[in-house]
Amino acid sequence: MEPIVEGKVKTVYQGVDPEQVLIHYHDKVTAGNGEKEDYPEGKGKINNEISCIIFKELEKAGIKTHFIQYAGPALMRCKKVDIIPIEVVVRNYADGSIVRQTTIPKYTKFNPPLIEFYLKDDDKNDPLLTEDRLHIMGYRQLHQYKQYAREVNVVVSGLFEKIGIALIDFKIEFGVTADGLVVVADEISPDGCRLLAEGDKSMDKDLFRKGEGDIITAYSSILKSLQEIVNI
């Protein structure tokens, strides 16, 4: 199979159906725009399964996504989309770049959640965008992206709350299907979320970014807890 996109931790292959793709999640983790990387065994399978559970819950809640079905270990069948090169970050509490770049104290609660847009461009280091800049760049559907992001946040933070984990912040990407529909795309997994368990324990990629723990242990425990609640 010929890859159509090779990302940092995933490869997208053309499906047999021209309107479908297969996404392969690799046993790989990167941080700092690819400056730091590792190859934890089993990570692709775990992230794929977590992402499948989350996309299924979004679909159940009536939110349109690119997800079609689980397609085997580390494989997800999805609708083929054109990815919109904007990363949408939802923040329920302050952490990460907003704490580094502002005077807002860590874990300040945002109610309503903050929704921010970043350019998806590694060469430019994914800069934060203003609404005026987005407007000039031709993005006229910001209110729609914001509304979708809020709806996704309600479902995903609710899901994590059920397993005793606070969703501090997370990143989503949107794509456009062949028939012009904007859907939630890419993956939603601990790689793109900040997740805090009891005792302020990180359960996400910050463990790898900061060298503070084993992501496989944390991600596996999240998967196990999610499987328990969705099977009820």
Residues that bind ligand UDP (CB under 6 A): 87, 89, 96-97, 126, 169-171, 192-194, 205
Min separation Cβ 178 and ligand UDP, Å: 26
Q: What is the DSSP letter of 136?
A: H
Q: Which is nearer to ligand UDP, 15 or 192 (CB)?
A: 192
Q: Which is nearer to ligand UDP, 96 or 213 (CB)?
A: 96
Min separation Cβ 14 and ligand UDP, Å: 25
Which residue number has the CB closest to ligand UDP?
96
Q: Which is nearer to ligand UDP, 149 or 183 (CB)?
A: 149
DSSP 12-43: EEE-SSTTEEEEEE-S-EEETTTTEEE--TTH
Min separation Cβ 25 and ligand UDP, Å: 14
Residues 192-218 as b/e (b if ≥16 CB within 10 A, e otherwise) read: bbbbbbeeeebbbbbbbbeeeeebbeb
Q: Single out the residue of 132, 135, 133 nearest to residue 124, CA to CA.
A: 133
| Bridge partners, 86 (sequence order) | 119
Min separation Cβ 168 and ligand UDP, Å: 7
Q: Which is nearer to ligand UDP, 121 or 131 (CB)?
A: 121
Residue with tokens 């984990």: 165
Compute the distance between CA of residue 81 and CA of residue 107 in angstroms, rounded to an integer: 35
Q: Which tokens go with 176?
A: 């456009």
Q: Which is nearer to ligand UDP, 7 or 96 (CB)?
A: 96
Min separation Cβ 9 and ligand UDP, Å: 11
Compute the distance between CA of residue 25 and CA of residue 220 in angstroms, rounded to an integer: 15
Specify whether the CB–CB gap between 66 and 78 falls below 8 A: yes
Min separation Cβ 193 and ligand UDP, Å: 5
